[in-house]
């Protein structure tokens, strides 16, 4: 049993043996430090608990926490190895007013993290670089400096707060430059000459002269809204109701920019920190809250595993991740007009996709090919009709095409001729009429030279059932076997 009141360390294999990767407060108080050999640590401390470190699991846990943090702002960026890989950035520009200010946001975040059992160091600053430095090196655990005090505080921090490579740090140390102020207050040119661009870039990033590129844990949406709930919700009805409100929030900015949403992401934030995201894609851009609410309802219906509400969702967020230009809808009272009809078809296709699955609804389009199975393609449905040439009255084609041609045992008069009897799926058919052959050669440019030619026959039995069979390969040129297949059925 792990006792947190006693020294606890996580160990990794390193040079010289197992070394400490992380330690708890008690171990720190006992004088242990990160990087020390575990063997040495055991000698120092009587009752030392040692567990193996699991960096993969740590990464996963951090990622989950970062996803949870999107409840504050969609722009959350995990720290990579260069930043220490033990925290993340939140871009709260424009988000803090939802909490009544930056101070309240900071306190809210700290309280929630504490409740998860994760004591953290937090800092709010003008730039990511500054925030990183203050979070790590400032004396207070929660750091929010009054305006104007930030630059002063940053200059007082050690140069290691600049996130520099070991070489640069060593050189700075040798030169006796200990504080950021020592470097920042001096002329730049000698540094540019002496060091790689790294030093100056980091300085510029910290003080906001240059922006730092960031990779976000979820693709940042263009439009989003979020609602924090006083009472957690658990039912599907409640989720759909709130989602409608969220979509209504988005209508104004969408209209203002003349666009509609093509893709949406609904994020459900559970009370215990778990986040579920539901993705929706639409056939045509939409701004209609009722339509989106309906699709969400259908989508939630379809999710096989129960979306575990646990103790409920404490916040819901809706983000438009893809938008497209959309004309303002002319009030067209004629229900048969093209635009109205196209909208109705889109809405129907959307409903089908959400309830029945993304591949459930399809359209057919012709393709240039002699091979019957390639002569058409099934595409995701859209309101526009596909273009088909008028039927060629001469070439008869079956109403059903089997997904794979099925072998049939055929009896014939002559091998090069049509079938007289055939057995297919266990039934024997007696052919009273046959038409053909229609010779369809393989497409060597597609499949290679050795594709056998097919001789297709339309055959009919005495009851009027009609089939499409082919013999694979020209006898005796391409093959010496007589192989027959049923490919389709005629009406």
* Binding residue for another protein, selected from 386, 409, 447, 476, defined by CB under 8 A: 386
CB of 209 within 8 A of CB of 59? no
- Interacting positions 429-448 with another protein (CB under 8 A): 431-437, 439
CB of 262 to another protein, least distance (A): 20
CA atoms within 13 A on the CB side of 59: 9
The answer for residues whose C-beta is within 8 angstroms of residue 112's C-beta and 6 or more apart is none
- Interacting positions 456-475 with another protein (CB under 8 A): 458, 460, 462-466
> Residue 24 or residue 286: which is nearer to another protein going by CB?
286
Q: What's the CA gap between 423 and 429, in Å, rounded?
A: 6
Please choose, from the candidates 38, 80, 48, 50, the residue with its C-alpha nearest in 3D space to the C-alpha of residue 63.
80
CB of 248 to another protein, least distance (A): 21
Segment 322-325 long-range contacts (CB within 8 Å, at least 24 positions apart)? 322/261, 322/262, 322/263, 322/281, 323/222, 323/223, 323/254, 323/257, 323/259, 323/260, 323/261, 323/262, 323/285, 324/259, 324/260, 324/262, 324/285, 325/258, 325/259, 325/260, 325/285
Q: What's the CA gap between 247 and 256, in Å, rounded?
A: 15
> Residue 150 or residue 314: which is nearer to another protein going by CB?
314
Give me the 263-302 binding string for another protein, x by CB under 8 A, dash otherwise.
Answer: -------------------------------------xx-
Q: What's the CA gap between 212 and 202, in Å, rounded?
A: 9
> Residue 156 or residue 365: which is nearer to another protein going by CB?
365
Q: Which region among 45-53, 126-134, 156-164, 387-395 touches another protein (by CB under 8 A)?
A: 387-395
Q: Which region among 59-67, 103-111, 190-198, 427-435 touches another protein (by CB under 8 A)?
A: 427-435
Q: Is 16 in the site for another protein (CB under 8 A)?
A: no
Q: What's the CA gap between 72 and 224, in Å, rounded?
A: 12
CB neighbour class for 80 (10 Å; exposed up to 12, middle 13-18, buried from 19): exposed
Q: Is 400 in the site for another protein (CB under 8 A)?
A: yes
* Binding residue for another protein, selected from 50, 53, 345, 440, defined by CB under 8 A: 345
Q: Is 490 in the site for another protein (CB under 8 A)?
A: yes
Segment 229-233 long-range contacts (CB within 8 Å, at least 24 positions apart)? 229/313, 229/314, 229/315, 229/316, 231/312, 232/271, 232/311, 232/312, 232/313, 232/314, 233/309, 233/312, 233/313, 233/316
> Residue 51 or residue 364: which is nearer to another protein going by CB?
364
Residue in the structure block whose two tokens are 């909490």: 99
- Interacting positions 90-149 with another protein (CB under 8 A): none
> Residue 239 or residue 326: which is nearer to another protein going by CB?
239
Q: Is 239 in the site for another protein (CB under 8 A)?
A: yes
* Binding residue for another protein, selected from 231, 399, 448, 449, defined by CB under 8 A: 399
Q: Structure tokens of 269?
A: 């934030």
User: Can you say how many angstroms the Cα of residue 237 is from the centroid of all Cα atoms in its chain?
Assistant: 26
Please choose, from the candidates 293, 445, 312, the residue with its C-alpha nearest in 3D space to the C-alpha of residue 354.
293
Q: Is 234 in the site for another protein (CB under 8 A)?
A: yes
> Residue 166 or residue 464: which is nearer to another protein going by CB?
464
* Binding residue for another protein, selected from 227, 274, 291, 355, defined by CB under 8 A: 355
* Binding residue for another protein, selected from 363, 451, 479, 482, defined by CB under 8 A: 363
Give me the 302-321 binding string for another protein, x by CB under 8 A, dash otherwise.
Answer: -x--xx-x------------
CB of 73 within 8 A of CB of 90? yes
* Binding residue for another protein, selected from 149, 391, 426, 449, defined by CB under 8 A: 391
CB of 419 to another protein, least distance (A): 9
CB of 476 to another protein, least distance (A): 14
Q: How many residues of this chain bind another protein (CB under 8 A)?
A: 78
Do strands 400-412 and 419-424 pair parallel, antiparallel, or not at all (unpaired)?
antiparallel
């Amino acid at each position: 049993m792990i006792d947190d009141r006693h020294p606890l360390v996580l160990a990794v294999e390193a040079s010289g043996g197992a070394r400490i990767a992380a330690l708890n407060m008690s171990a720190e108080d006992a004088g242990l430090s990160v990087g020390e050999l575990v063997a040495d640590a055991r000698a120092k401390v009587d009752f030392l608990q040692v567990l193996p470190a699991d960096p993969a699991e740590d990464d996963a846990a951090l990622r989950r926490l970062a996803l949870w943090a999107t409840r504050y702002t969609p722009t959350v960026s995990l720290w990579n190895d260069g930043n220490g890989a033990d925290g993340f950035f939140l871009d709260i520009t424009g988000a803090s007013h939802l909490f009544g200010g930056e101070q309240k946001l900071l306190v809210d975040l700290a309280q929630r993290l504490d409740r998860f059992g994760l004591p953290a160091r937090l800092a709010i600053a003008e730039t990511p670089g500054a925030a990183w430095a203050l979070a790590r090196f400032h004396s207070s655990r929660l750091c929010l400096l009054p305006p104007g005090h930030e630059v002063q505080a940053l200059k007082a921090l050690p140069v290691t707060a600049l996130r520099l490579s070991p070489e640069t740090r060593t050189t700075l140390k040798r030169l006796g430059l200990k504080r950021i102020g020592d470097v920042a207050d001096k002329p730049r040119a000698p540094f540019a000459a002496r060091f790689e661009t790294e030093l100056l870039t980091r300085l510029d990033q910290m003080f906001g002269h240059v922006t730092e590129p960031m990779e976000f844990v979820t693709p940042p949406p263009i439009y989003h809204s979020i609602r924090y709930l006083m009472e957690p919700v658990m039912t599907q009805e409640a989720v759909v109701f709130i989602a409608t409100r969220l979509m209504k929030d988005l209508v104004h900015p969408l209209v203002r920019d003349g666009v509609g949403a093509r893709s949406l992401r609904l994020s459900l934030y559970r009370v215990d920190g778990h986040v579920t995201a539901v993705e929706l894609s639409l056939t045509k851009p939409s701004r209609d809250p009722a339509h989106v609410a309906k699709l969400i309802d259908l989508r939630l219906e379809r999710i096989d595993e129960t979306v575990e509400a646990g103790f409920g969702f404490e916040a819901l967020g809706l983000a438009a991740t893809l938008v497209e230009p959309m004309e303002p809808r002319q009030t067209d009272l004629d229900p048969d007009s093209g635009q109205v009809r196209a909208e109705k078809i889109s809405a129907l296709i959307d409903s089908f996709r959400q309830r029945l699955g993304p591949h459930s609804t399809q359209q057919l389009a012709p393709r240039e090919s002699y091979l019957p199975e390639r002569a058409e393609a099934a595409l995701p449905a859209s309101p526009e009709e596909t273009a088909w040439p008028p039927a060629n009255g001469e070439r008869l084609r079956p109403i059903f095409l089997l997904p794979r041609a099925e072998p049939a045992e055929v009896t014939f008069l002559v091998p090069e001729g049509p079938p007289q009897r055939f057995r297919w799926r266990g039934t024997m058919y007696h052919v009273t009429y046959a038409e053909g052959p229609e010779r369809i050669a393989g497409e060597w440019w597609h499949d290679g030279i050795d594709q056998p030619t097919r001789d297709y026959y339309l055959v009919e039995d005495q009851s009027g059932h009609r089939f499409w069979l082919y013999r694979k390969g020209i006898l005796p040129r391409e093959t010496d076997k007589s192989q027959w297949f049923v490919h389709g059925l005629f009406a």
